[in-house]
Amino acid sequence: MQLKNDLLIRAAKGEAVERTPVWLMRQAGRILPEYRAVRESLSGFKELVETPELAAEVTIQPVDILGVDAAIIFSDILVVPEAMGCTYEMVEKRGPLFPKTIRTEQDMKSLRIADPHEHLHYVLDAIKVTKKALNGRVPLIGFAGAPWTILAYMVEGSGSKTFSHARGMLYTNPKLAHQLLRMITDTTIAYLQAQVEAGANLIQVFDSWAGILSPAQYRLFSLPYINEICNAINSVPVTVFAKGAFFALEDFATLNCETIGLDWNMEIKTARQQVGPNKTLQGNMDPCLLYSSFDTIQHETIKMLKEFGPQRHIANLGHGVYPDTDPEKVKCFIQTVKEYGATINS
Ligand SMILES: Cc1c2[nH]c(c1CCC(=O)O)Cc1[nH]c(c(CCC(=O)O)c1C)Cc1[nH]c(c(CCC(=O)O)c1C)Cc1[nH]c(c(C)c1CCC(=O)O)C2
């Protein structure tokens, strides 16, 4: 199906756009009262993720309500470890918890390389239902976690300030870490390819815990696996978003991907120099800007657009939107990109 709004895809590919496209990481979620209404009628987060019609509904909400230029499929990066045999619980107000962690060779025996059609069919179904309902209005983004970030959750068992068990494994048992990364990568490649087959128009890889590794370890334990994923996705553009990985921008320049996501710790001009002219940059507003006044939001957003320039930029925050953000402030950010993004392009 022909997309009616393909700004995101053209910007990703480096083709000319008449205005900068905009969407927000974590746009489908608790910022919207409409999301909370759906969520509260259910037993929990997983029921929403695993019911394709409901996942499709909340995926499309930000397109209708906020006016973003892309939808991102409502799911979570943690469905991958679950499909591999390591189930998670989403604990209210605390986040994910894995009752069983992967720390030894013995633990590894409980894992499999998942078949997306068998173990993640609900995501593929959600993509199909969403695509049909979107009817080409905007592109649909598919996603997965980067292998290192998934390993971090599987080994640690929950979120953590230090991820000391996960980082510790890289020193105490690097062989086991690589074995686990291998299984996660194989699962992720098949999963992302299946998402593309189901209709995803662009793929984003989230390396949320990139920034806790040293540059040397990042090059050993994360980049090679992201590289494999990029090489395996050929028919749609790929975005790599590695939070805190300012030290790896020159490495990202060599990846077989179209777009690099930046967080707000990264200087836009320096990032552009390090990545070079041949990639699109996505980002990178501090989500906390959206706590400020409408005037400040407009002013800072225009400043950001000027710094990135009119082409090869996808406007976004530097990480997911915080749940207590006023949707009107989110709309102000989006509207400013739409208005000002068009003037700098004319
Ligand atoms: C690290 C990570 C996770 N999940 C994700 C990441 C990578 C991006 C990032 O770095 O933020 C990715 C993710 N999670 C979710 C989406 C949906 C699509 C979207 O971006 O709108 C996406 C893309 C839904 C979700 N995933 C989660 C919620 C909130 C659960 C609820 O509704 O109760 C949503 C809407 C829960 C979740 N899921 C995860 C955590 C740590 C938590 C709890 C804390 C939090 O809420 O942010 C793991």
pLDDT at residue 288, as a whole number: 98
Calculate how far, in angstroms, residue 232's C-alpha sits from the geometric centre of ligand 1.
25
pLDDT at residue 163, as a whole number: 97
Reported as a pLDDT band with limits 50, 70 and 90, residue 190 is: very high
Indicate which residue of 76, 125, 186, 286 is catalytic. Answer: 76
Whether 29 has a binding-site annotation, put simply, is: yes
CA–CA gap between residue 236 and residue 257 (Å, rounded) = 10
Give the CA dihedral 118, 120, 126, 128, nearest 10 degrees: -50
Q: Which protein residue has the closest C-alpha to ligand 1 atom 20? A: 26
Tell me what the mean pLDDT of segment 48-75 comes to: 98
pLDDT digits (tens, 9 = 90+) for 114-156: 999 999 999 999 999 999 999 999 999 999 999 999 999 999 9
Indicate which residue of 35, 153, 191, 340 is catalytic. Answer: 153
| 192 conformational bin, left if phi > 0, alpha if psi -120 to 50, beta if neither | alpha
The answer to whether residue 191 is catalytic is no
**What lines the ligand 1 site, CB under 6 Å?**
25-30, 39, 45, 72, 74, 76-78, 90, 95-96, 143, 159, 206, 208, 243, 320
Calculate how far, in angstroms, residue 28's C-alpha sits from the geometric centre of ligand 1.
9
CA–CA gap between residue 313 and residue 310 (Å, rounded) = 7
pLDDT at residue 318, as a whole number: 98
For residue 313, give the amino acid letter. Answer: H
Tell me what the mean pLDDT of segment 322-332 comes to: 98
